[in-house]
Amino acid sequence: MAKSDIDTIKSVVKAHWPVTTPGAKAKRYVGEFFDLTRRGKKITGKVEGNHGIYTVSLEVKAERLSSACSCYIGAYGNCHHCQALGFTFLQDARAFKATRAKSLKSVRTPEDLNKYLNGVTLEKLLSELKTKGITQKAFAESIGMNSRHLTSVKSCELRNRYYNELGAIKLACLWFLEHIENKK
């Protein structure tokens, strides 16, 4: 019998942090997260930290744990907030609301659009543009953006750090996908 996504996340978190209790810094955050969600093998949550609210995510990819936090040391998941999210999941996996990505075809309202944009990464949209023959550099130049800045926006999103223009860039990608002819 195949493991469920929940069981897979639990086993990988336990393998990544084989201790039975979190470290002293992480302990104070365990169980303190809000906006807890699970989409497949990815969990996310928000927690009040020393410098504001941090967005934390853990994802299982090929039986390995990938993590990120928006705190100043958690860009690549090497912070106590990531460990605390993992232990929060082990403590009560049911607290994480299961969500599914909204399909673009099902978008009918501004709320639907917001859910869709939150569920799709800029990296995925740029990849779809590439299949139409539109490079990241060509896209960036056409919307008046430096291609290095676009690369920064894309990589920061994957580490739970968000530029203000992220939503607008995603909308521009959607417009291109809908209106620009395939160059291939």
The closest of 98, 95, 100, 80 to 31, measured between CA atoms, is 95
Distance of CA 130 to the CA centre of its chain: 21
The pLDDT value given to residue 119 = 83
Per-residue pLDDT of the chain (184 residues; tens, 9 = 90+): 557 999 999 999 999 998 888 989 999 999 999 999 998 899 999 999 988 999 999 999 888 999 999 998 877 778 999 999 999 999 999 999 988 777 788 889 998 888 888 888 899 999 999 999 999 999 999 999 999 999 999 988 887 778 889 999 999 999 999 888 765 5
Asked whether residue 86 falls in the same domain as residue 144, the answer is no
The pLDDT value given to residue 165 = 92
Domain membership flag for residue 158: yes
Distance of CA 169 to the CA centre of its chain: 16
The domain in which residue 14 lies consists of 5-98
Q: Taking a C-beta distance cutoff of 8 angstroms, is the pair 97, 38 a contact?
A: yes
Asked whether residue 16 falls in the same domain as residue 80, the answer is yes
Domain membership flag for residue 184: no
The pLDDT value given to residue 10 = 94
Question: What is the C-alpha to C-alpha distance for residues 104 and 170, in angstroms, rounded to an integer?
Answer: 12
Task: Give the dihedral sign, CA 139/119/73/64.
Answer: negative
Last residue within a domain, chosen from 98, 117, 133: 98
* Separation of first and last alpha carbons in the chain: 43
Asked whether residue 112 falls in the same domain as residue 151, the answer is yes
Strand ranges inside the chain, DSSP E: 34-39, 42-49, 52-61, 64-69, 97-98
Write the CA distances from 162 to 4, 70, 127, integer angstroms: 31, 9, 19
Asked whether residue 118 falls in the same domain as residue 90, the answer is no
Last residue within a domain, chosen from 56, 75, 98: 98
Q: Taking a C-beta distance cutoff of 8 angstroms, is the pair 36, 45 a contact?
A: yes
The pLDDT value given to residue 72 = 86
Last residue within a domain, chosen from 98, 113, 147: 98
Domain membership flag for residue 40: yes
The pLDDT value given to residue 88 = 97
Question: What is the C-alpha to C-alpha distance for residues 120 and 35, in angstroms, rounded to an integer?
Answer: 18
Domain count, the chain: 2
Asked whether residue 23 falls in the same domain as residue 49, the answer is yes
Asked whether residue 12 falls in the same domain as residue 94, the answer is yes
Q: Compute how many other C-beta atoms are within 10 angstroms of the C-beta atom of residue 30.
A: 20
Domain membership flag for residue 62: yes
Q: Compute how many other C-beta atoms are within 10 angstroms of the C-beta atom of residue 156.
A: 17
DSSP label of 159: T
Model confidence, pTM: 0.75
CA angle, residues 138, 142, 143, in degrees to nearest 5: 125
Asked whether residue 93 falls in the same domain as residue 59, the answer is yes
